[in-house]
Amino acid sequence: RPCCHDILRVLLGDVGAGKSSLVLRFVKGQFVEFQESTIGAAFFSQTLAVNDATVKFEIWDTAGQERYHSLAPMYYRGAAAAIIVYDISNQASFERAKKWVQELQAQGNPNMVMALAGNKADLLDARKVAAEASSSFPAIVTRRNVRQWHEAQVYAQENGLFFMETSAKTATNVNDIFYEIAKRLSQV
């Protein structure tokens, strides 16, 4: 059955987390080291085959800066799905992501499919989230710090999001996170 044509979705998250880079990777298959900051918001569209249907994604890439915050509801209000992005090497961006989740839970469409993207997964050695959050564990920052992944995973589960670590740089899980959202939207 054809479904979910023209899915409107929105990317939210701290400035620098990699929202524009994720969209650029998804839409054009490209990555640039010096991605320009988004002003206001940018619009993209991309089609993807999901099962038997062709789904057209219409994507609002928002800026993330506090001074544009009041504009955000314009982009998420009509959205069927949202990807909330943080940078795994930046604890503050994870805290900011949680704030976005709270805002969407309070003001967004109640059926919205929400994904949490822990981006820059290629920066394994810079990992900070959770290593700082639990002092009862020795603060060993391993190459693959499972604890941080676990913290985000638990948070996502408790809040009804699904979680993936992504890398716009290496393309890890980028198509997958969009694909997973499309699949979940076709189930509702």
Burial zone of 42 (CB within 10 Å; 0-12 exposed, 13-18 middle, 19+ buried): middle
Instruction: Give SS3 for 165.
Output: strand
Among 38, 91, 148, 153, contact with ligand GDP (rule: CB under 6 A): 38
Query: Half-sphere exposure of 149 toward its Cβ, with a 13 Å CA cutoff?
Result: 12
Among 10, 20, 113, 119, contact with Mg ion (rule: CB under 5 A): 20
Check binding of 147 to ligand GDP (CB under 6 A).
no
Beta-carbon contacts of residue 1 (< 8 Å; ≥ 6 apart): 53
Q: Which does 18 bind (CB under 5 to 8 A by kind): ligand GDP, Mg ion, none?
A: ligand GDP
Among 10, 12, 64, 131, contact with ligand GDP (rule: CB under 6 A): 64
Percent helix / strand / coil, the chain, rounded to 5? 35, 25, 40
Shortest distance, CB of residue 22 to Mg ion, whole angstroms?
9
Check binding of 38 to Mg ion (CB under 5 A).
yes
Element (H, E) at 117: strand 113-119
Check binding of 153 to ligand GDP (CB under 6 A).
no
Check binding of 118 to ligand GDP (CB under 6 A).
no
Interacting residues toward Mg ion by CB under 5 A:
19-20, 38
Interacting residues toward ligand GDP by CB under 6 A:
13, 15-21, 32-35, 37-38, 64, 119-120, 122-123, 167-169
